[in-house]
Structure 1
Amino acid sequence: SDEDVDDSSEFVKFFPSFIWAVRDFTLERKIDGKDATENDYLEFALKLKHGSLNIYNLPRECIQKFFPSRTCFTFPFPTAPENVSHLERLDLADLSTEFLEVTGRFCTFVFDQSDVKKLKDGYTVTGRVLGHLAKMYMDTISSGAVPCLENAVIAMAMIENQAAVKEGFEVYQSGMEKLKNSFPLELKVVSSEHQRLSSMATQTFMTRSFRDTDGKHLKSLEVGWISFNELFDGYLCQNEQAEAVLEEFLKQKSVDSKAILQADKKLTEKEKKIKGTTKEETQRQLQEKMEAERQSNEERMIQMKEKMDEEMRLQREEAQRAMDSKLREQAALLEKGFQEKADRMSQEMEEFKRQNAEAESNRVREFAELLENSSKRNEESMAMMMQQHREQMKALQQQMRARSAGGCCIL
């Protein structure tokens, strides 16, 4: 319908290239008595006619609007007429050289120059995504409803983003589970591995996920990072428990051979040294943990910025592709004398520019909010670490006072 044609600026962003393959072509490729290329022949066939019925102009107008990239291949008869009935049994030598030449150009064009399938906003349709779309279309058709690309993409985005979160968790958790087999380890080693796996998990998530317009993708991303930090705290706790078990074992071995009971209730110089060493170790652990979190946050911010730049690039490429198509279409209309339609297209292009500018502004705002939320979460995480450190130091002081009041110490 005319209304559908008016929506061409949206469709042209992600519609594939148009290839017109004409079989058994026997006509002369001439326009006004002059030889014409295959593409010239296609454009001539798509010309609109003044005063023609809508049934003639509308399909041609739709092809022009929805498919800015158009290519034509005219295939002659593949072989002699007497061989047509058993083409599948013919050898290559039985096929005409002209047919093989066009076939070669056709295959080269499809394999080397055809763009990959894309969805709105420039996201590539992988085999997995195509499978989701095909299933959704078939389910919709089977139910008696009419398939809608927009609804299918929204549903698929939810599936892909949920799978991306799960895949990111698995990358992080499987790596930390392998590391856990080596506990106890130095905090620096655990923190370094957390940083590496967190970066890998976030990259895995961002690679598979793609934007949805209502912001669910951003919320999923935030939940993912919070979960990584919670998992990290859990693994740190397990590492400390393993270290405590090992320390207790070594202490018991030491008691069997070196334990000396002291009657003096005052702290000895050695006890003071132990106390100072414990404080220094706790402080060092805090610094290493905070440094690991700082570096993880920096890498996360870089990944987010790269994701934003890539999405904005795809969005701009789509918009430019649509605008170029409209400019070519407008020039063709003016050349053919359709002044009224050309003027209407000028208004459409202005509205198209306005919508693109608004969409880009909204996207920039979404990412700015995401970066701000990430910074806030990092600040909260740092504050929580400091609070935990203060509580640990307080507990340590109480423990040392209790040992002093007990009147004895094991060296």
Structure 2
Amino acid sequence: MPVAMEGPVCLVGNGANGELEVNPAALEILRGVAQPVVVVAIVGLYRTGKSYLMNSLAGKQRGESCPSPLPVGPGLEPGGDTKNDVWIFALAVLLSSTLVYNSKGTIDQFAMDQLHFVSELTEHIKVKAQGGDNVEEDTEFVRFFPSFVWAVRDFTLELRIEGQLVTEDQYLEHALALRKGINKKVMEFNLPRQCIRNFFPTRKCFVFVQPTSRQEMGQLDSLPTSALDPQFLDQTRRFCDYVFHCSHVKTVKGGIPVNGKRFGSLVQSYVGTIRSGQVPCLDNAVTAMAAIENEAALREAMAHYAAGMGALRLPAELAELSAAHGTHEGDALRLFMQRSFKDEEQEFQKQLVAGIMERYADILAENEAVSEQTCRALLEELSAAMQQRLSAGLYSQPGGYQLTNNPALGHLWSQAEEALEQFLAGKKAEAEAVLKADNLLTEAEKHVEKQKAEMLEQQRKVAEEKRLQTEQLLKDQERSHQENVKQLEAKVAEELASARQEAERALESKLKEQEAMLSERGAGSSGQSGWAGARTSGFCAHLLHCNSV
């Protein structure tokens, strides 16, 4: 059951030595979130109102009395640690399914310059563990990067371009338009815009008027809604509605959905890599997360099988054990498949199948032991009367041997026939003693022959029982193999479908972006906005995770 959060909890922060570190308390909360998560990161300059947007998404209205989910302190002052800022931005991109960039004023060159981190992403994030074609890897980023939202705060101008009213999205696309030319100045102008267009083909823009007077802006999070501009409140509502309805579940390479537990593993993997001085790699992070998840899925599936079989009352007929084994093995495999992913060469699945068969063999052996013990106890109970009569000398008379009729168990349990055979062999000496005391020797000899025939028949029944057991075990193994193949085929089909959807979304986004660029070239757009921008610098990030609907 998810842990209730009364307020923001620090997920990643800077320790005493300045290095990034993961908060164990936040990881514990994430472990309680079994559902797929939608992850929203809000990044931007110091004191640009990120907390208000995050609190609005979380349905809260309070100040930064406690750290934000992905903080670097309450905000970084101008001249802060640029390297740390870059890693925070990289983490926000890697971990989120929707990335919100929060700025003030307008989208102009100054705002673009403050978003220079986006042009450095390829230096701080790798897709593949093995080195490859940089161009090919660049095109891969779009498959795994989040959708992009630009939130422009304290927007005072009209949404007009060359005198024509435009939408917020048209305003953003106009600001991202590229200039023609190949000189250094043009290339510097185009670089951040080209990176945004390449890495984030799914883009959205929201502009917000100033919510209250400048004197009260410092208390924005604590002001009642009645003190805020109605237009600002409407813009905030539209922003939240878009994030809630259009943000996708966080996925990793292969279209694998991420729940709270997996998300925590991702955070630990990326932060650990950064701390080691390496560049975070999507391949490596997913592999590490898969190993943790698959190990947990293996333990969970084995525990489920053991609990189901452990509920059986022994001794039991082999057919009953076989049926129970088939049911609980199928359930365990389904449980494993639901949680596992990227199980290369079916390593963990093979461990599960082997573990189940080993446990089943132990149960069969235990059933035989209990069956034999139970049968022996019953035979001893049935033969107790014979022992009393032998002691009393009742068999030392004509026809006494005929009174020593063999007890019969029938097929009560799997070891009944073998136990009866062993019991009869153990009582052979007593039967011979009775025979010697029998005066009807001729009749007794007939009974001896009959006894030998019964012993031979008993041995045949024991052999037949063993043959049936071996045959049933072979059937169980074949059934297990078929169930394993069936579950594996379903899992492979599911993962292929997810990967196909991921590739189709990426292709659709890239085609859309290429069409837009061709259209711009045809129109001869210059892309220069020329509007005034924000006056602050520094960088911090906020991150919100919530269950998908």
Q: TM-score, normalised by structure 1?
A: 0.74
> Which letter does structure 1 place at the counterpart of 2:500?
R
Q: Are the counterparts in 2 of residues 76 and 98 from structure 1 also a CA contact under 8 Å? A: yes
> Which letter does structure 1 place at the counterpart of 2:297?
A
Which of 217, 242, 251 aligns to 1:84? It is 217
Q: How far did residue 160 of structure 1 move?
A: 2.1
Q: Are the counterparts in 2 of residues 17 and 67 from structure 1 also a CA contact under 8 Å? A: yes
SS in 1 for 2:217: helix
Aligned to 1:128: 261
Q: How far did residue 249 of structure 1 move?
A: 0.4
- 2: distance between equivalents of 1:6 and 1:47? 24
Q: Select the structure that is richer in helix.
A: 1
The structure, 1 or 2, with the larger RCO (C-alpha pairs under 8 Å, 6+ apart) is: 2
Aligned to 2:109: none
**CA-atom RMSD, angstroms?**
2.5
- 2: distance between equivalents of 1:305 and 1:222? 14
Aligned to 1:21: 151
Which of 280, 283, 301 aligns to 1:147? It is 280
- 2: distance between equivalents of 1:81 and 1:4? 47
Q: How far did residue 124 of structure 1 move?
A: 1.3
Aligned to 1:107: 240
Q: Does 1:320 align with 2:453?
A: no
Aligned to 1:331: 515
> Which letter does structure 2 place at the counterpart of 1:254?
L
CA deviations 1:196-215 (Å, max 9, x no partner) are 22122222222222116xx3
> Which letter does structure 2 place at the counterpart of 1:323?
L
Aligned pairs for 1:146-225 (under 5 A) are: 146-179=279-312, 182-211=313-342, 215-216=344-345, 218-225=346-353
> Which letter does structure 1 place at the counterpart of 2:169?
N
- 2: distance between equivalents of 1:300 and 1:6? 37
Q: After alignment, is 76-85 or 245-254 more displaced?
A: 76-85
Q: Select the structure that is richer in strand.
A: 2
Q: Are the counterparts in 2 of residues 5 and 62 from structure 1 also a CA contact under 8 Å? A: no
CA deviations 1:28-51 (Å, max 9, x no partner) are 112232221111112111111111
- 1: distance between equivalents of 2:140 and 2:471? 52
Q: After alignment, is 145-154 or 130-139 more displaced?
A: 145-154
- 2: distance between equivalents of 1:279 and 1:144? 68
- 1: distance between equivalents of 2:208 and 2:326? 58
> Which letter does structure 2 place at the counterpart of 1:225?
V
- 2: distance between equivalents of 1:36 and 1:196? 62
> Which letter does structure 2 place at the counterpart of 1:149?
L
Q: How far did residue 309 of structure 1 move?
A: 0.8
Aligned to 1:118: 251
Change (3 A) 1:255 1:324: same
Q: How far did residue 254 of structure 1 move?
A: 1.2
Q: How far did residue 282 of structure 1 move?
A: 4.0
Identity of aligned residues (%): 38
Q: Are the counterparts in 2 of residues 65 and 325 from structure 1 also a CA contact under 8 Å? A: no
Aligned pairs for 1:33-72 (under 5 A) are: 33-51=163-181, 53-72=186-205
Q: After alignment, is 125-134 or 303-312 more displaced?
A: 125-134
- 1: distance between equivalents of 2:493 and 2:136? 30
CA deviations 1:127-155 (Å, max 9, x no partner) are 11221121222223333333333322222
Aligned pairs for 1:289-304 (under 5 A) are: 289-304=473-488
Change (3 A) 1:139 1:129: same
- 1: distance between equivalents of 2:240 and 2:162? 30
Aligned to 2:359: 231
> Which letter does structure 1 place at the counterpart of 2:368?
E
CA deviations 1:325-345 (Å, max 9, x no partner) are 22122222222238xxxxxxx
SS in 2 for 1:18: strand
Q: Are the counterparts in 1 of residues 287 and 342 from structure 2 also a CA contact under 8 Å? A: no
**Runs (5+) with no aligned partner, structure 2:** 1-118, 123-132, 388-403, 405-430, 436-444, 523-549
Aligned to 2:491: 307
- 1: distance between equivalents of 2:299 and 2:483? 20
> Which letter does structure 1 place at the counterpart of 2:342?
R
Task: Tell me how many residue pairs correspond in the alignment.
Answer: 333
Select the structure of larger CA radius of gyration.
2
Q: How far did residue 295 of structure 1 move?
A: 3.5
